[in-house]
A and B are shown apart, each in its own frame.
Chain A
Amino acid sequence: MQTDELIAHLSGELEPVRGTEVARILAAGLALGLMGSALLMALTIGIRPDIVPAMSGGAFWLKFLYTLVVTVLGLKLVERLSRPGTEARWPALLIAVPVLALMGMMAMQMMPADSATRHALLMGHSADVCSVLIAGLALPLFASLFWSLRRLAPTRLTEAGAAAGLLAGSAAATIYAFHCTESTATFIAIWYTAGIALTTLMGAALGRFVLRW
């Protein structure tokens, strides 16, 4: 086909586009993934039995707040990276804020503790499974967010993949918080962060294969 014909064809089939299209596609991917992850958790490891009393304690909300803040920043990052010609530096740098804040709380717990207490704080009772379960619960989110991104136009595929992985991991960790009975800032700072880092790396590795358009 001649380029002129192509242009005539494309302008002939032009339809108006809503300004909210990108937001709608990302929201659909996130919502679908959250439902998938919640369902996956309900069918496998389940919600902690004491969820109602636990929700009146600070530890539950600390976990929730941490993962939620990272989720919001991750969403901003994915949105930026899904558009050509956009920078994503500030949301990427801002992610350091919640992480460092929690690390600060961890330092305050660890410093005065003796070595046995430190070990208990670090390992909790689920250190061996926490990060892996978060990464596992992130799989539906991974799939749906990558599906969203492919409908958009990421041009830096490794970065976009990493951002989608970060978002999948932090959203999955938010869901995992309804299962997990750990309650110390130290445990969350280490193992939740490790889970999210794991999915971020997975996303970065997959990005340039899966996100091509």
Chain B
Amino acid sequence: MIQQEAQYRAWMLAALAGDAAAYRMLLQGLTRHLRGYYAKRLGAAAAEDVVQETLIAIHAKRATYDPTRPFTAWVYGIARYKLMDEYRRGHRKATVPLEEAGELFGADEAEAAGTRRDVEKLLAKLPQAKRDLVRAIKLDGQSIADEAARTGMSETSVKVTVHRALKSLGEELGGSNADR
């Protein structure tokens, strides 16, 4: 899931720097996902051509990958574009619902990436010191004792700070849901 994103992204960065072996691993890995993705929508017979077209597009357009953004989203953008292109050529249904964004790498994966992004967005609303504490303890799994030592706070106040920060984020969530 997130590891997959990290692995593919690492291969991609190496490939952009000219590492042919990493590039090969990347394309081989992506081919498996693409095959499944297109076979499900176009049938196994038509899928292979589109897989190859997509690989060529990934190759030709690799400079448009922005390393500060998720690699899986970039690949999915291309895969979806090629699928629409295929539909258009066949005069079939010309829209692909956006809800399928996770389809390429498995739904759980896109969900996890989305959740992580949401968490980061929420965390950004906290002041720096609190944010660091919440991230260290709740996301990175640091112990309260370690964080207390690092920040010079007592363990109790670390606990209280994290608890209050989470509570305020909870209220934030409740508030923005009510807006909708």
Known A10-B27, A11-B20, A86-B69; contact A3-B81, beta-carbon cutoff 8 A: no
Interface residues of B (CB under 8 A from A): 15-21, 23-24, 27-28, 31, 48, 51-52, 55-57, 59, 61-67, 69-70, 72-78, 80-81, 85
Q: Which B residue's beta carbon lies closest to that of A21?
A: B63
Task: Tell me the bound Cα distance from A153 to B52 in angstroms.
Answer: 17
**B81 and A155 form a contact (CB under 8 A):** yes
A residues less than 8 Å from B75 (CB atoms)? 84-85
A residues less than 8 Å from B74 (CB atoms)? 83-86
Task: Tell me the bound Cα distance from A6 to B27 in angstroms.
Answer: 10
Q: Chain B contact residues: over half helix, strand or loop, or mixed?
A: helix
**B70 and A17 form a contact (CB under 8 A):** no
Q: Which of A1-50 contact B (CB under 8 A)?
A: 1, 3, 6-8, 10-12, 14-19, 21-22
**B64 and A3 form a contact (CB under 8 A):** no
B residues less than 8 Å from A153 (CB atoms)? 57, 61, 64, 77-78, 81
Q: Which A residue's beta carbon lies closest to that of B80?
A: A155
A residues less than 8 Å from B59 (CB atoms)? 10
Interface size on A, residues (CB 8 A): 26
Known A85-B77, A86-B69, A152-B64; contact A7-B85, beta-carbon cutoff 8 A: no
Known A16-B18, A83-B66, A152-B64; contact A3-B77, beta-carbon cutoff 8 A: no
Known A14-B15, A86-B66; contact A3-B20, beta-carbon cutoff 8 A: no
**A17 and B55 form a contact (CB under 8 A):** no
Task: Tell me the bound Cα distance from A209 to B56 in angstroms.
Answer: 21
